[in-house]
Structure 1
């Protein structure tokens, strides 16, 4: 008996918009306009005969029907992605050079690479850990992963994932110094300043955090330990040297393992996000497509890294 399925583009648009709670973010992922996403979802709603979203002035809200529909679609697309990756991995080979920030490579990407090798055993992956922005006309690079607010220079980019920022410290240090009951109490603790610069931007700032919390920090706030590499700053925090402004993607494994804890629940949205960047030609490379498909899957599932 033939399957009676809704339009595939409408399903993809709805699943992406529901996942991001945004037509604009869904449009970035699907490489279409927000208007196209909205049009496809309206067509899907008409086909189904139900309303999936309530369009509010400040965003989207799933209806009861939308909430019931989403899990099965996400699972179905995940299964398709995995099956496709396994199939494409059989015949895909050759070298893939990826320029990536050392902090992201060490704390998020590298521990997960075993799953990529399983799916694409013949791809020769070369990670170039570096902070400078890539010149695709000069450098032999297929793809770059950057943590910035926006990408300029005529390149084609896609937002991979966002981050939140919040204080983290080792459980031993928290036990020794006692509980932290409010953001202002952090001013009495040893703070570690992450001075990692990516694309000319300092990604993390204690001063911005305190300003968001409504606290006017002292002028000498910056006269504490400063580290220009996020990976080293995280290692210092794990070792109990102080409190860092933790970037959610990069500290997730440490939090899960109990090596770091949050003394306060307060978090702020990072201005920067992780972007996948390449040229128009690069995005047509099967190896780039395979790797970026895998990255999206890893970012969406949030699976913990696997130690090998």
Structure 2
């Protein structure tokens, strides 16, 4: 009978090997991983080879263009990413008594400016013990390296190693200022073919798709204006420069303030799942993240009323 003391101890891989594997998997390139780790490419390759030897299975397929994960490598990355996040959280907790109350958010710019920022004071009023840092860009930041607790991303959800909570009930709707509608009242979609249209390049549903859904072809005239940020499209529309096809979520305050008006009834809107709360699964254990997620759910439950 084998005693507990006779069992072979679990062999832990060197932390440098884990770092080399994670960075190479992230970039798909050993040279890029070496640059991030301040090592030589041969040193990174050596660490990965040692890790594969320890595991007994290849983690990467090597090609002339770089490296790609094998099925075993994909599974190992999912497992290791969670362990690295747990280690980062443990280190943070041990290093500072106050850091657990410092909420670090990253957001897509238009969501951060138009929806989140006007409501942050409500969160602070109900959670005065939590300090907030908010940064905005369209980059998908690295949670550990960039010290991000939660990311609000725009686009199609394709982050299999992360927790993704999609914001529901968002719709793309045609909007215009009251002054523009007074000059050019619109009753049917085809009437927009003769109007100035504002193109939101970042929207997941744009004018070509919307017109196709209504059984119409694109207008022959070019767009009056086009922007790569939704907040610019909405601001231009609020000044009466044209009709915008934009998010009901991002335009909510414009509509509630009377600066923009939905042109058509709800049946002519396009449902989208464009914004997502994204974070490592271990971050859900952080009280500051859990409280923010609960607050977001409450706030979003009151939206989409128009």
Give the TM bin, normalised by the shorter chain: 0.5 to 0.7
Q: CA RMSD in A?
A: 2.2
| CA contact 2:176–2:242 (8 Å) conserved in 1 | yes
The answer for the alignment partner of 2:19 in structure 1 is none
Task: Sort the Cα spacing of 1:222 and 1:150 in 2 relative to 1 into closer, same or farther, 3 A.
Answer: farther
Note the C-alpha offset of 1:204: 3.6
* Aligned partner of 2:128 among 121, 133, 140: 121
Note the C-alpha offset of 1:162: 3.1
Provide the rounded CA distance (Å) in 2 between the counterparts of 1:154 and 1:168: 37
Note the C-alpha offset of 1:110: 1.2
Q: TM-score, normalised by structure 2?
A: 0.63
Question: What secondary structure is seen at the aligned counterpart in 1 of 2:251?
Answer: helix
Corresponding position: 1:102 with 2:103: no
| CA contact 2:108–2:152 (8 Å) conserved in 1 | yes
The answer for the alignment partner of 2:165 in structure 1 is 158
Of 144-153 and 107-116, more deviation after overlay is shown by 144-153
Provide the rounded CA distance (Å) in 2 between the counterparts of 1:267 and 1:287: 39
Provide the rounded CA distance (Å) in 2 between the counterparts of 1:272 and 1:120: 28
| CA contact 1:92–1:120 (8 Å) conserved in 2 | no
Corresponding position: 1:180 with 2:186: yes
Q: Which 4+ residue blocks in structure 1 deviate beyond 3 angstroms?
A: 220-224
Note the C-alpha offset of 1:236: 0.5
Provide the rounded CA distance (Å) in 1 between the counterparts of 2:150 and 2:291: 12
Gaps of 5+ in 2: 1-97
| CA contact 2:249–2:303 (8 Å) conserved in 1 | no
Question: What secondary structure is seen at the aligned counterpart in 1 of 2:125?
Answer: helix
Provide the rounded CA distance (Å) in 1 between the counterparts of 2:132 and 2:158: 24
| CA contact 1:93–1:124 (8 Å) conserved in 2 | no
Question: What secondary structure is seen at the aligned counterpart in 2 of 1:162?
Answer: coil
| CA contact 1:97–1:126 (8 Å) conserved in 2 | yes
Q: How many pairs are equivalent?
A: 207
Provide the rounded CA distance (Å) in 2 between the counterparts of 1:191 and 1:288: 40
The answer for the alignment partner of 1:191 in structure 2 is 197
**Greater CA radius of gyration, 1 or 2?**
2
Gaps of 5+ in 1: 1-90, 197-201
Q: TM-score, normalised by structure 1?
A: 0.63
